[in-house]
Structure 1
Amino acid sequence: HVTDRRVRRYENGDNFVEIIPSVKGLATVHDRDVLIFCISHLMAALNNKKSVSQIVRFKAYDMLKATNRMTNGQAYDGLVSALTRLRGTIITTNIITGDQEVTRGFGIIESFEIVRNTRAGRMQEVEIKLSDWVFNAIRHKEVLTLHRDYFRLRKPLERRIYELGRKHCGMKPSWKIGLERLQEKCGSTSTMKEFRRLVQKMALLQSFFLYLKLMVILT
């Protein structure tokens, strides 16, 4: 993992979102697997009319298996690093109402705790306190479910395009977007020529579009 400490800022009209990493680096698309795992459990509970809490506790092994990861020592170390980056990454955004602008900053997760129950330091359970922002989105069912095969996608760009397609396509048979706009939404820093090549390469891999019909207009 290459430590990424670049600040990212995205603007749409008068609104902006700024993502600020900690000294440990920016949370990655693969770090977000931990968050997706927690969200899926809470959404399942809500759908079954059960109460949910901002604090989520789970077995580290179960999370690694569910997200298509190895369960060796390196994978457990990677989970600790992911939690550290998730805790350290700060999101700042503004909300404009009338002539008043409010800027708010928050973390992706509030805190985490790792329970070890062997002298060898084997990780057993993980406890995460989700941020107010994430938990409120879950309670109001403002998050999308992802197919379990999502975790088979290893490249960040593949995952990002899947997420965009899942959001914009929904139950519709297709979604159309210009290449420049797609690059902007993906946050890609590649040249347009290189980005086009990457998208075209993915479009040739039929397995990439599992359970999702995504039409991209290369303009």
Structure 2
Amino acid sequence: MATYGYAVLYEPGGRFLMPRKNTRGYFYYRDGAGSGGDIYRTGMQIRSGGGDLCLPGGGCHADESIPQCANREFFEEVGFEPVTYADRAHNWYGGPWDESKGLQFGAAFYQCTTERFNALRADVSARLAEGQKAVQDIQSNKISSYTDLHKKYPTAPWDNELATLDKDYSVLNGRDWQVIESWQKDPAKSWFFTILKTLKTYLGS
């Protein structure tokens, strides 16, 4: 069974980080390569949810728990480990969401104060913008290796999976929740709805 872990960084008012994916990725960390990775001059198409909203996350390694996977994926896609900044961390394990394919998912939730959330949100935006500058240099042949990329752009994420942060969504805002509920019917975001419904219940609404 393939298992996926997702990270939800949130504040007590119900806001959470939900970036938008790139449609193409131009650099990626290579597992087992220390701090090394690969760049792709013309990019690689992101087939799963490209251009859409997402929660940071991905497939668990063989020796990983869902919380470990969520923390690692957030680090690779954003640039820091959320567990380092959380005032409270708690986990949720879902059952199989597609039994025919043998897929299972879960989430790690990282709560921080509103003040810290706002600061981290600004930091994430800056890191993703740094990654987009690196992409421009890759496309124009100004960067020739993954190592050079992170020398020039040290705060860029390890993976070029995420593009930007759009508006803030809150599980406790009525209009936002209507949008989130609509994701139930979207194969690319239905499991995000389930995860965020768990957060909404946890926050008491």
TM superposition score category, shorter chain reference: under 0.3
Higher relative strand content = 2
Structure ID, larger Rg: 1
TM-score, normalised to structure 2's length?
A: 0.26
**Higher RCO (CA-CA < 8 Å; seq separation 6+):** 2
Higher relative helix content = 1
